[in-house]
């Protein structure tokens, strides 16, 4: 099963993807996570990506398309995968369709997680992530048992560089202008599964697994 998780910054794509990995035993492919790892390692890709990410802008299509093209050919993707944060522009979606056609494969579901703007800003500015295992938290909505310490591995929690109010505002604008048109793109293909993304994290997980089954 090949799935796209679509939704604005803060919709819960990463949160739900981590739970779906356990449920379906297919990997999560987050272009944001891959780019952040490159930034951390200080690679050429990371240096190029950082300037865009800090401004809340999209990294050029050619760069992320190349990353995904490599990644989906890895053996762990043979039984399916979840794309989190890709595609994000119509050219990316077209490129994905092209590469899947070459692999005689296709996307089965586009899970579109819907959350209003005010809630998104609250979620993003309060998000914390584990430096060691990548687990996600929220200072109010999903706090760790001990402040700034990961429940799962004891690692240190940090705040993403792009989770400040200014960058969040531009990320939300970029989403509306460049990513929202993908809903129409995938509606034409009959693949959009709209999910109400507001409420308890486990309830939302239930809504997603229901439409996938």
Exactly one of 97, 142, 148, 151 binds ligand AP5 (CB under 6 A); that residue is 142
Exactly one of 7, 12, 14, 87 binds Mg ion (CB under 5 A); that residue is 14
Binding partner of 193, given Zn ion, ligand AP5, Mg ion, none, CB within 5-8 angstroms per partner class = none
Apex CA 132: angle with CA 127 and CA 137, to 5°? 20
Residues 6-45 that bind ligand AP5 (CB under 6 A): 7, 9-15, 31-32, 35
- Determine which one of 13, 36, 193, 207 is catalytic: 13
Report CA-CA distances (Å) from 158 to 55, 80, 111, 118, 202. Answer: 19, 31, 28, 22, 24
**Widest Cα–Cα separation across the chain:** 48
- Strands, E assignment, 95-155: 109-114, 127-130, 136-138
Is 122 catalytic? The answer is no
Rounded to a whole number of angstroms, the minimum distance from the CB of residue 177 to Zn ion is 34
Answer for the pair 185, 87: CB distance below 8 angstroms, yes or no. Answer: no
Decide: is 158 part of the binding site for Zn ion (CB under 5 A): no
Is 123 catalytic? The answer is no
Tokens, residue 102: 């070459």
Exactly one of 90, 114, 141, 155 binds ligand AP5 (CB under 6 A); that residue is 141
Is 127 catalytic? The answer is yes
Exactly one of 59, 150, 182, 204 binds Zn ion (CB under 5 A); that residue is 150
Decide: is 56 part of the binding site for ligand AP5 (CB under 6 A): yes
Answer for the pair 152, 130: CB distance below 8 angstroms, yes or no. Answer: yes
Active site residues: 13, 88, 127, 160, 171
């Amino acid at each position: 099963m090949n799935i796209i998780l679509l939704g604005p910054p803060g919709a819960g794509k990463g949160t739900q993807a981590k739970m779906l990995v356990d449920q379906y035993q297919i990997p999560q492919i987050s272009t944001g996570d891959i780019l952040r790892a490159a930034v951390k390692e200080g690679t050429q890709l990371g240096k190029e990506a950082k300037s865009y990410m800090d401004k809340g802008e999209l990294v050029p299509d050619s760069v992320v398309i190349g990353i995904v093209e490599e990644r989906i050919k890895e053996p762990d993707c043979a039984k399916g995968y979840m794309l989190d944060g890709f595609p994000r522009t119509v050219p990316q979606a077209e490129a994905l369709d092209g590469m899947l056609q070459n692999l005689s494969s296709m996307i089965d579901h586009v899970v579109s997680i819907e959350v209003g703007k005010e809630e998104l800003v609250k979620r993003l500015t309060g998000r914390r992530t584990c430096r060691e295992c990548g687990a996600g938290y929220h200072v109010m909505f999903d706090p760790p048992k001990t402040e700034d310490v990961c429940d799962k591995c004891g690692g240190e929690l940090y705040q993403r560089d792009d989770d400040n109010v200014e960058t969040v505002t531009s990320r939300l604008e970029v989403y509306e202008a460049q990513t929202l048109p993908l809903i129409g793109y995938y509606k034409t293909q009959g693949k959009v599964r709209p999910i109400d993304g507001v409420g308890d994290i486990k309830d939302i997980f239930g809504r997603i697994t229901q439409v996938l089954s």
